[in-house]
Amino acid sequence: MTPTHVASRMGNVLWGLLPSEHDPFVAKIRSGDVITVDALSHEGIMEDQGRDPRRWLESRGLDPSLVLPDAVEIAGEYPGRDPLADGPHVVTGPIGVEGAEPGDVLRVDYLELLPRTPFGVVSSRHGYGALPGEYPLESTVPLGDPEIEWPGLVSVLCSLEGDRGSERLLIKPRGALPAIELPFAPFLGLVGVVPAGTGRLNSIPPSDYGGNMDIRDLVTGTSLYLPVQIEGAGLYLGDPHYAQGHGEVALTAVEASLAATIRVSVLKGAAATSLVGALTTPFGESATHWFCVGMDRDLDEAMRRSVREALRFLRERFSIPTEEAYAYLSAAADFVVTQVVDGVKGVHCQLRKQDFRSYLV
């Protein structure tokens, strides 16, 4: 029987590592199935926050009953974690997809992304982010209880307010300053398929298999395409967000747990190439844009890879020659710095579908 819900509980998750081809599937589904997968935020359960989410939240003046049971379970019971070597993310999966084979494309449609808590957290940590060594300093005093939080950690709470469909996020600075209001735009920062020929990889750097890409444009109503590398694909997800700015400069976005309802489909042969061409790296799509992804440790090279991927897509999808496609990109496409904080940096090209309406008839 196909599961309708995959919870982020012990046995279904890895903490700080991506699943390998040697890990058993935590669930199996068919192509075209719709499932809901819980994505658990790592903020509040981390070692530098005391690895006790109830105590941490209470120390910040919030009701500890707001902490999710899976956060308590994983913080207290997850075995064998190495906080100095492993990444921070709680990764749900891998999920096997019947019929998926290397060379296929896995399409993930985001149907609904619902918040699981009324708050999120934005954290900076010494040595990370866009200003490593500049801010925060190793000696920076935490904003919370220094008995729990380590020096060099700055965690800012963000409240989720409003009714469903009219939610907003508020950051309330200390003192008498008014709240900063930002839009609620939930998405999954980490979605990928199991890479072939590796063991468990650190959850931080993304790659051609997807992972921690942090593409904020992939909200409800959009799709992510991933090149399948092993039989069954091995879909996994995590790093849920309530909002993020392009760049994610402080280190994290608004980290907060989500329930993600997704449709997962296997595209084979012409069904894949007619949409995305010969895909070898993640690719995104919304109702109005295509997103061509470039990733590299060097931001300049990530930019170049995004340009090459956009040229490839325009050539293979629409047979547009490179000369004209390159001119179009310079005249009309937007290249956005996805994130600069995950070791492997990201740039994605935003191609407007309306510019190609004569090709889509």
**Whether the predicted pLDDT of 70 surpasses 90:** yes
Instruction: With H, G, I as helix, E, B as strand and everything else as coil, classify residue 220.
Output: coil
Q: What is the pTM of this model?
A: 0.96
Q: Sketch out the chain's domains with CATH numbers.
A: 5-267 (2.60.120.580), 288-359 (3.10.28.20)
Return the number of other C-beta atoms located less than 10 Å from residue 214's C-beta: 25
Query: What pLDDT, on the 0 to 100 scale, is given for residue 236?
Result: 98
Is residue 111 within 8 A of residue 260, CB to CB? The reply is no
Strands 90-97, 27-29: pairing is parallel
The pLDDT of residue 230 is above 70: yes
Write down the pLDDT at residue 3: 73
Q: Which residues pair with 260 in a beta bridge?
A: 37, 113
- In this predicted structure, the answer to whether residue 252 has a pLDDT above a threshold of 70 is yes
Give how far the C-alpha of residue 345 lies from the chain's centroid of Cα atoms, to the nearest Å: 13
Average pLDDT score over residue span 173-195: 96
Across residues 90-115, what is the average pLDDT?
Answer: 98
The pLDDT tens digits of the residues spanning 30-50 come to 999 999 999 999 999 999 999
- Average pLDDT of the chain? 97
Q: How many CA atoms does the CB half-sphere of 136 hold within 13 Å?
A: 19
Q: What is the mean pLDDT of residues 142-161?
A: 95
Residue 30 CA neighbour count, 13 Å, CB half:
4
Q: What percent of the chain has pLDDT over 90?
A: 97
304 φ, ψ (degrees, to nearest 5): -60, -40
CA dihedral 142, 18, 14, 247 (to 10 degrees): 30
Is the pLDDT at 162 greater than 70? The verdict is yes
Residue 1 pLDDT > 60 = no
Residue 361: pLDDT band by 50, 70, 90 thresholds? confident
The pLDDT score that the predictor gives to residue 54 is: 97
